[in-house]
Amino acid sequence: MHPAECQAEHRAGEFAEALRDQFMVEHAAYYVELEEALMEKNGFEADCMREQLAAALVQLDPDLLDKQVWRRLGWVVIRRLFDHYSM
């Protein structure tokens, strides 16, 4: 491989890593914001109802369509289960 090609590939790799890092930071921040919104919705109780979680999702993103809310709700539940059982 030509040195210029290696250099371009390395820069592309750095760019991809930077995008991944940014995504991970934003993803983690979103879950923190969601947890805070959920705690407000359920009166700071440990358990919550699906409707409270859906309301917290809409609070974070008012433009979500109902279908998107329930799809995202499924991912949040999966994420929380994964976090709980991977401890």
Domain count, the chain: 1
**pLDDT band at residue 2 using 50, 70 and 90 as cut-offs:** low
Q: 10 Å Cβ neighbour count for 70? A: 13
Residue 36 is part of which domain span?
3-85
What pLDDT, in 10s, does the model give residues 63-87? 877 777 777 777 666 666 556 565 5
Global pTM reads 0.56
The pair of three-digit structure tokens given for residue 73, joined into one six-digit string: 């709700």
User: Which residues, at least 6 apart from 69, have a Cβ–Cβ distance to it below 8 Å?
Assistant: 54, 57, 58
The pLDDT of residue 22: 93
- The full DSSP string for 24-56 is HHHHHHHHHHHHHHHHHHTTT-S---HHHHHHH
**Distance, CA of 42 to CA of 50 (rounded, Å):** 10
pLDDT for 37-69, tens place per residue? 888 877 877 777 777 878 888 888 888 777 777
3-state secondary structure of 19: helix
